[in-house]
Structure formats: structure tokens, C-alpha cells
Amino acid sequence: MKISNIQRFKRLSTMVAGVFTVITFLLPNQVLADGGGDFKAKCASCHQPHKNSTGPKLFQVRTKWATGGAKEGSIYQWVNNWQTAAANDPYAADVSKWSATAMSAFPDLSKEQINGIMDWIDMQPDPAATTTGDPTQVGGDPSATEEEGSFSWIWLVIGVIFIIIILAVGGVRRQLKHVTSEEELVEKLTYGEELRAMAWKYRLWVGLGSLVLLLSVLVTVMQGLGRINVVENYQPSQPIVFPHDRHAGANGIDCKYCHNSVAKSKSASLPSVNVCMNCHKQINGEGKPFADQIKKIYAAAGWDPAGAGKYTGKTKPIVWNKVHVLPDHVYFNHSQHVVVGGVDCKQCHGDMTKMNEAVKVQPVEELNKIEGNIKLSRPTLTMGWCIECHAAKDVPLGNGKNAYYDEIHRRLKDNDKTLYRKYLKDGKVTVSELGGWECAKCHY
């Protein structure tokens, strides 16, 4: 591969601006969970706070009605049943002409609830006005790196100062010695000779010290070698900033909706652009940063959102950077693990519903924190990690749910009871006991 394609596996820090934007969204979300929740559940399909869509934008809509001359309380009537409001209030009747599409009736919403929703809406900042937030700038977090960098710099500086002090002190001592030796006619020694003499004098300590030093260097080197090709925390940049937390988390979209061959094939597959368009034909992003990202999907799909929207036929595939990469000589099958093994995506990929940055290979410590995950110790995506799990994961045999395993169970039970008992010592038959540790299960 060309050098230009090579990217360091260094930890990519988070996107400052992106985080800022997300936090501004999340904060009121937590404070007024009810209003926000109700908005999302009842209103969001037609309304947006700062933008007209199927329905008009709702930012400070109460003020708008009040200043527009609407009757007091008419807005709540409107939400419960717009026809009643339109019949009672000429302002409401005017509003009903805003669009040909009639608003649904929400008779079960109380005045408090409606106010909650309105309050929540009014707290939403206008994303178009947010100039600082641009999630496209995926770069290093300067403060973080600086901090980390200055930390090590301090040590370096201190080290240098110490060395200078030692040398200076040594020099002074030497000078003093010279002064005395001039009188006592002691043999003049060079620096090197002196050092050697010192080393010889304290040979036990010097020997022990060098041994410790040598061993620690060896251990560090070996550990370093062992970390080669360990891809934990690998987080390449992506052409589109894709927030998994929004899709899988907030909106609760099933992983399999996009990664739709995960149950059928060895490859989970990235969604083709037409899958993105299923939703994004309607959802074109609130605020510039998001709209910009979604525009990239439109460019790929050849979708012209202007006017009624149509496909131009000019498509351009999206080139993603693969995150979870296994070497070519490894055969890994998603459907084997997801369908047959019943392994949750979280086991290897972590909790994607909370991932608000570019996807990264989760370190095993992170994976272990997730509830329900089999706890492992080797670094993620290494062979040790795989086989550790194969030795821990049980295969339910003979439960009548899978005829394949029923037959395996029958053969084991009928023909080699001792072996079966040996397997069952730990109360389960594991993948490795059925051959999951054999080379040709993954390498061929």
C-alpha cells in the first residue's frame, strides 16, 4: 500500500466542536426529559424547532400566537383538536391555512404537558446560528494532546536539569579534588578512568543496576513487540461523521437495519447508500453541520433535495475507512456468531448506542465494563482474545432448539459418555471443546 494511505494508529482525540454541539443538545434533554420526550414522540415527525417542515417551526410559538392576537388558551385547544380552536379563534383559523396538510389531534395532552413541550422547544438553540459547531472538523483535541505533551516535556526538562546539576556538582567536586590533589600529588585521573574506578569500587551495585536495567529494557521491548498489530483504540477518520448514538441510541434503530447481512453472511456489511436514503430522504439535518453531513449522502446517492426531490442518477460511492480489520488469513463469519452463537454485537464492538464519535476499536477493558459481555483479558481483535472467548462461551447442546446441535449432542452422549462428562465438568460445553480452538476453523 502506498505511503499516502498509511495512517498512524495513534489515538485520535475527540472532535471538540462536535462534542460541544452534542452537549448543547443533550443538556436540556436531561433537564426537561418529559418535554423533549413528548416532542419526539408526538410532534417530531412533522415539526422542528427552528425550521418549517410538514408543520411550521415551533420555536417560541406561544409568543408568536400571543403577539399575533390569538385568544388566550387557544393554542392548547389547537393542540388538543385544531378544528375546535379554528372554530373558536379567527387566529387559529388563519393558522389552519398554513398548509393543506391537517394537523393530527392530540386530545390526551394536558396543558402542563403542552407547556413542557413548548418550554423544551424554546430552549433549543438555533443550529443555523451556532457557528462554533462544525462536526466535520475531525481533528486532534489540541488541549488534550498539549496537556499530555507538556506533561512529558516537563519530565524531560526536569531530567535535563537534573543531569546538568549532577554534572555541575561533579565538576565542582572534581575541581575541589584537583585543588587538594595539587598539594597531595595524587594521580590525576580523567573522567573515564574515574568512572571506571567508581564502577569497580561499587561493582555489586553497578552490576545489579545494569541487570535490572537490562531486564526492564528486555521486558519493555518484548511487551512492545507483543503490542504490534494490536489495534485497540484504532479510530480512523471517516468521510461522513456518523453518530451511532443518534441512530442506534436515541432513535433506537436496530443494528441489523443498516448492517443487514450480519445474519446472513460472513460480512456484516456497511449499509449501501440506498439504505441511508430510506430515512434521509425526509431527514435532512437540523442545522448546518448536520445538514452538511447529510448532503454528502445526497451526493453519493445522486439525490437532489431541492423542490420535490429527485434522483439525478449521478452516484458516487462513499469510501469509508474500515475500523475492525482482520488479517487476510483469518476467516471470521458474522452470521456464525450472531445467529448460531447468539453473541450480541456489544461483545466485540462495545455499546454503539453511546458512541458519539467516529467508531473505534474498543479496548478490552471497555468491553468488559458492558453488562452481559463475557469478560476477557487479551487485547481486542487479537487471536488470544478470540480463543479466550471460545473457551468461555458455552454451546447449548440438546435443548431441542437446533437439530444440528441435537445431533451433535446425541453422538456425544451415546458414543462417548466419558468425554461428554469431561466437557461438562465446568457445567457447560464450550466452543473450544467442540473444536473452536482448531486452526482450520478460522484459517484456511
Partner 1 sequence: MTRKYWKGLEELKETPEFIKQRENEFPSQVSVEEFLSDDKLNETSTARRDFLKFLGFSVAAASLAACEAPVTRAVPYVIKPENVTLGMPTWYASTYYDGSSYTSILVKTREGRPIFIKGNKDFGITKGGVNPQIIASVLGLYDSERLKNASIGGVDVTQSKLDAAVISALKSAKKVTLISNTVISPSMNRAIGTMAADLNVNGATKFEHITYDAVSYSAMREANLQNFGAAILPSYDFSKAKSIVSIGADFLSTWLMATEYAAQYGSRRNPEKEAEGEWMSKHFQFESNMSISGSNADYRGMIKPSEQAAVLSYFIKGLGGACAIAATVPASAEKAAKEALSSLKKNKKNALVVCGSNNVGLQLLTNQLNSLLGSYGTTIDLNNDLKLFQGDDKKVQAFANQVIAGKGSDMIIFMGVNPVYTLPNGAAFGKALKGVKTTLSLSAYADETTTLCSHASPDHHALESWNDFQVKPSHYAVAQPTIRPLHDTTSALESILVWNGKASRAGKDSNVAYDYIKETYATLFPSGDFAYTTHNSCENITVAAAAALTYKSAPITNLPKSGALEVILYQKAAIGTGAQANNPWLQEMPDPITKATWDNYITMNPVEMEKLGYVTTYDQEHGLDLATVTVNGLSVTLPVYPLPGQAINTIGIALGYGRGANGEKIGKAAFQTKEYGGYEVGENGLHVPIGANVFAFASSNFELEAVGTIKKVDGTYKIAATQIHHTVMGRHSIVRETTLDTFLAKDKEAYNPAHTLQKLNKEGHHEERPVSEFDLWDAHPVEKIGHRWGMTIDLSSCIGCGSCLVACQSENNVPVVGKDEVRRGREMHWLRIDRYFASDEEAAVGQRKDKETFSYSKAELAAENPKVVHMPLMCHHCNHAPCETVCPVAATTHSNEGLNQMTYNRCIGTRYCANNCPYKVRRFNWFNYPSYKKFTEVNPAQDDLGRMVLNPDVTVRTRGVMEKCSFCVQRIQSTKLVAKKEARTIIDGELATACSDACPTNAIIVGDWNDSKSSVFASSNSKRAYQALEEVGVKPNVWYKVKVRNEVNELLSSIQVVKEAPHHEKKKGQH
Q: Which of 8, 97, 421, 425 binds partner 1 (CB under 8 A)?
A: 8
Q: Binding marks (x or -) toward partner 1, 220..259, rule CB under 8 A? A: --------xx-x----x-----------------------
Phi-psi region of 342 (alpha: psi -120 to 50; beta: other; left: phi over 0): left
Residue 261 makes contact with partner 1 by CB under 8 A: yes
Secondary element (H or E) of residue 108: none
Q: Which of 271, 285, 305, 363 binds partner 1 (CB under 8 A)?
A: 271
Nearer to partner 1, 152 or 418 (CB): 418
Residue 422 makes contact with partner 1 by CB under 8 A: no
Least gap, CB of 242 to partner 1 (angstroms): 12
Q: Which of 250, 270, 291, 343 binds partner 1 (CB under 8 A)?
A: 270
Residue 438 makes contact with partner 1 by CB under 8 A: yes
Task: Name residue 96's amino acid.
Answer: S
b/e map 176-193, b = 16+ CB within 10 Å: eeeeeeeeeeeeeeeeee
User: Helix (H, G, I), strand (E, B), or coil: what is residue 167?
Assistant: helix
Q: What is the largest CA-CA distance in the chain?
A: 119
Give the Cα separation of 51 and 58 in Å (integer).
8
User: Helix (H, G, I), strand (E, B), or coil: what is residue 86?
Assistant: helix
Q: CA angle, 26 as apex, 20 and 30 as ends, to 5°?
A: 145
Residue 272 makes contact with partner 1 by CB under 8 A: yes
**Helix crossing, 61-68 with 111-123: angle to 10°?**
110
Nearer to partner 1, 86 or 361 (CB): 361
Nearer to partner 1, 95 or 277 (CB): 277
Nearer to partner 1, 72 or 328 (CB): 328
The C-alpha cell at 404 is 444440528
- Interacting positions 279-338 with partner 1 (CB under 8 A): 300-302, 315-322, 325, 328-329, 331, 333, 335-336
Q: Which of 126, 148, 394, 416 binds partner 1 (CB under 8 A)?
A: 416
Find cell 480512523 and name the residue. 236
Cβ distance 323 to 360 under 8 Å?
yes
Nearer to partner 1, 84 or 333 (CB): 333
Which residues, including other chains, have CB under 8 Å from residue 366's CB and lie 6 or more apart?
A: 350
Query: Which residues of this protein are in contact with partner 1, per CB under 8 A?
Result: 1, 5-9, 228-229, 231, 236, 261, 264-267, 269-275, 300-302, 315-322, 325, 328-329, 331, 333, 335-336, 339-340, 401-408, 411-412, 414-416, 419, 434-435, 438-441, 443-444
